[in-house]
Chains A and B, each alone.
Chain A
Amino acid sequence: DAKTTQPPSMDCAEGRAANLPCNHSTISGNEYVYWYRQIHSQGPQYIIHGLKNNETNEMASLIITEDRKSSTLILPHATLRDTAVYYCIVRPLGAGGTSYGKLTFGQGTILTVHP
């Protein structure tokens, strides 16, 4: 699976948009970009995923560059409860075999939302 690079930490003011970047310059054509977050001492929570088109759901928006080498997760109106570690992951969809289940979680970005 392609490797991702994220800043170790970011701050955001409550009510503002949080924009979390992720570089995945070695991404392959069949690899999707996934975002998860983990609040302290809890299990990770799925946020969103996409291939090449921008995606939006009730939690966030995902913007993927045209060359797919980077992406940005946008939390439009950050709240204190959005403080968490955010993980950007790339992996093939429906790979099966040895890559199945191998969502490789790196260090992630610690997002701190402050009042």
Chain B
Amino acid sequence: DGGITQSPKYLFRKEGQNVTLSCEQNLNHDAMYWYRQDPGQGLRLIYYSQIVNDFQKGDIAEGYSVSREKKESFPLTVTSAQKNPTAFYLCASSPQAGARDTGELFFGEGSRLTVL
């Protein structure tokens, strides 16, 4: 089935360690996004990418990095510079970029990161 796969679903890391969250989609979507969600809060945009080899910072990019070397993949690295990394991370994609954007996002199941 087509969809977005995030892995791992749960991840525990020690403070000061970098960690990379995987996001893969087989929907042939142009655009991909990373959001962060904290308990009882809405989603905040970290990074987004409209096309391969291009990405832009969202509202809370500090302490995170991404790459978009392939259309189907958009991994997120949570670096040691991120002060409060414990959160629920959601990856999403959308079928069209720019002026043809419909605003509909397709989300993965999320990755829950806990920093000890």
Residues of chain A having any CB pair with chain B under 8 Å: 32, 34, 36, 41-46, 49, 87, 91, 93-96, 100-108
Contacts and interface: CB of A to CB of B under 8 A. Distances in A.
19 contacts: A36-B105, A41-B110, A42-B107, A42-B109, A43-B90, A44-B105, A91-B103, A94-B98, A94-B100, A96-B98, A100-B31, A100-B50, A101-B48, A102-B58, A103-B105, A104-B42, A105-B35, A106-B42, A107-B42
Contacts of B98: 94, 96, 100
B101 A49 contact: no
Nearest to B47: A101
B115 interface: no
Contacts, number: 71
Question: How big is chain B's contact interface, by range?
Answer: 20 to 34
B109 A101 contact: no
B90 A44 contact: yes
Nearest to A96: B98
User: Considering the complex of A and B, which 4 residue pairs feature the smallest CB-CB distances, nearest first?
Assistant: A43-B107, A105-B42, A101-B48, A105-B43
A46 B101 contact: no
Interface string B80-116: 0000000010101010011111111111111010000
Contacts of B33: 101
A96 B101 contact: yes
A107 to B, nearest CB: 6
Contacts of B100: 94
